[in-house]
Amino acid sequence: MVVDERAKVVTVTIDGRMVKVKDGCTVLEAARQAGIYVPTLCYHPSLSPYGACRLCIVEIENMRGFPTACTTPVTDGMVIRTDSAQLRELRKNIFELILAEHPKQCVTCAKNLRCELQEVASRIGVEEVTLPPIRKDLPVYRDSPFFDRDYNLCVLCGRCVRVCQEVRGVGAIAFVYRGSRALVGTAFDKTLQDSGCQFCGACVDICPTGALLDRESKWSGLPDKSVVTICPYCGVGCQLSLEVKAGRVVRSVPVYDESSVNKGQACVKGRFGIAEFVHHPERLSSPLMRKDGKLVETSWEAALGFVAEVLSRHKGDEFAFIASAKCTNEENYLAQKFTRAVMGTNNVDHCARL
């Protein structure tokens, strides 16, 4: 948060362009700062450098081989090439290996059009996969009430494993097995709950493919719109984006925003506990008035008129208003203004202490 004004600036040359960047930043960060696209899959700004997917390989003068941009720190005067015939060829070949392991029935995938793999494919320009597909034939795990884990679609970028470990400090999932059997899973194949999963959904949000997907909204496709708002659970005030499709909230996801409190993270309640209660069938949809001891539906006009009439008879200290720590500032303001200015009493309080 505290920006160190003395942070050293170094100059590097990327694809023939001189760029001034913060000392200690990575080649990838420098390239992005210069507006140069370098494909990545395992990289994520919330996570420490990993260097697994090998797509961000570059050429750096005086360095052997093809270092990965996401893990290599810049040094002053560094000369970097992100695009050469050899790099393009190698990248394409590596990406083809990734695709060989990934089913290619995109149109039947719930992540279609939201998939990072598709994005990278279009940028790298893979025309055909000449390698035979490697089928994993793994069962789909449905042991979470909120999301499915289909590791047939997993590209082993490790983002889920790392976000769980590095950002959430939980470590419920890890890599298991070796070689081409290598997989993301829980220790001893325990259920997620038994392995300490907190169901925050960070793994789902960070997954570049359709391997991890919300179950409820899996097939809702691209939202009509997304509205950034504040989570109603607890006083931290996380930014959430409510994804709306056909007038319904289908999903709530944290937005990655460096200035927000939650920086792309949420808890299980904010991530999975919103859409369902908003559209719950038990939501009250009409005013109710007690008639013969029973609450029966009535019109707003009737209800409001009745309340206004009765309250007019209870002005002063025989009236109290219990406001709410769950309502907005404006509503609480109006509640106390109403109590004080209209009802003539200071009897207003809320569950501040609970």
Partner 1 sequence: MTNSINEIGDASCVFVIGSSTSSGHPIVALEIKRAVRSGARLIVANPREFDLCDHADVWLRHIPGSDVALLMGMAKVIYDEGLADLAFVSEYCENFDAFKESLKKFELEFVEKVTGVPREAISQAARLYATCKPATIIYAMGITQHTHGTDNVLAVANLAMLTGNIGKPSSGVNPLRGQNNVQGACDMGALPNVYTGYQRVDNPEVRRKFEIAWRCDLSPNPGLTLSEMIDAAYNRRLKAAFVMGENPLLSDPDINHTREAFKRLEFLVVQDMFLTETAQLAHVVLPATSFAEKDGTFTNTERRVQLVRKAVEPIGNSRPDWWIICEIAKRMGAYGFDFSHPSEVMDEIARLTPSYGGINYERLENGGLQWPCPTTDHPGTPILHVGKFVRGLGLFMPLEYKPPAELPDKDYPFILTTGRSLFHYHTGTMTRRVRGLNAIDPEAEVEINPEDAAVLKIVHGEKVKVVSRRGEVVVKAKVTEKVPPRVVFMTFHFAESPVNILTNPAVDPVAKIPELKVSAVRIEKL
Partner 2 sequence: MTFTEIQKRAAAEWEKLQKSLRPRILVGAGTCGKAAGAGAVLKAIDEFLARQGVGATVIQVGCMGLCYAEPMIGVIKPGRPQVIYGSVQPETVGQLLSDYLMNDNPRPDLALGYIGDGKVDGIPNLFDLTVLKPQVRLVLRNCGLIDPENIDHYIANGGYSGLFKALSMSPEAIIEEIKKSGLRGRGGAGFPTGQKWEFCRRAPGTEKYIVCNADEGDPGAFMNRSLLEGDPHSVLEGMVIGAYAIGANHGYIYCRAEYPLALERLRLALKQMEEYGLIGDNILGSGFNFHIKIKEGAGAFVCGEETALLASIEGKRGMPRPRPPFPAISGLWGKPTNINNVETWANVALILQKGAEWYAQYGTERSKGTKTFALVGKVERTGLIEVPLGITLRQIIYDIGGGILKGKKFKAVQTGGPSGGCLPASLLDSPVDYESLTAAGSIMGSGGMIVADEDTCMVDLTRYFLTFTQAESCGKCPPCRVGTRQMLDILTRIVQGQGKSGDIEQLERIATTVKQGSLCGLGQTAPNPVLTTLRYFRDEYQAHIEEKRCPALVCKELITFYILPDKCQGCMICMRNCPVEAINGGRRLVHVIDQSKCIKCGTCLDICPTRFSAVVKVSGERIEVPSEPVPVQKAEGSAQD
Distance, CA of 290 to CA of 90 (rounded, Å): 75
Size of the site for partner 1 (CB under 8 A): 108
Matching residue, tokens 């449905």: 142
Residues 140-159 binding partner 2 (CB under 8 A) are 155-156, 158
User: Is residue 74 near partner 1 by the rule CB under 8 A?
Assistant: no
User: Is residue 68 near partner 2 by the rule CB under 8 A?
Assistant: yes
Distance, CA of 214 to CA of 330 (rounded, Å): 34
Q: Which residues pair with 59 in a beta bridge?
A: 81
Residues 214-233 binding partner 1 (CB under 8 A) are 225, 227-233
CB of 63 to partner 2, least distance (A): 9
| 207 token code pair | 């997954």
Amino acid, res. 99: L
Query: How far apart are the two ends of the chain, measured CA to CA in Å?
Result: 32
Q: Which is closer to partner 2, CB of 207 or CB of 253?
A: 207
Matching residue, tokens 């998939």: 115
User: Is residue 191 near partner 1 by the rule CB under 8 A?
Assistant: no
Distance, CA of 78 to CA of 28 (rounded, Å): 13
Phi, psi at residue 100, to the nearest 5°? Answer: -60, -25
Segment interacting with partner 2, rule: CB under 8 A, options 63-71, 142-150, 254-262, 330-338: 63-71
Distance, CA of 222 to CA of 212 (rounded, Å): 16
Q: Which of 33, 66, 256, 332 binds partner 2 (CB under 8 A)?
A: 66
Phi-psi region of 274 (alpha: psi -120 to 50; beta: other; left: phi over 0): alpha
User: Is residue 131 near partner 2 by the rule CB under 8 A?
Assistant: yes
List all residues 6 or more positions away from 85 whose beta carbon is below 8 Å from its beta carbon: none
Q: Which of 51, 103, 232, 287 binds partner 2 (CB under 8 A)?
A: 51
Among partner 2, partner 1, none, residue 11 binds (CB under 5-8 Å by kind): none
Size of the site for partner 2 (CB under 8 A): 37
Interaction mask 111-130, partner 2, x per CB under 8 A:
-------------------x
User: Is residue 352 near partner 1 by the rule CB under 8 A?
Assistant: yes
Q: Which is closer to partner 2, CB of 72 or CB of 195?
A: 72
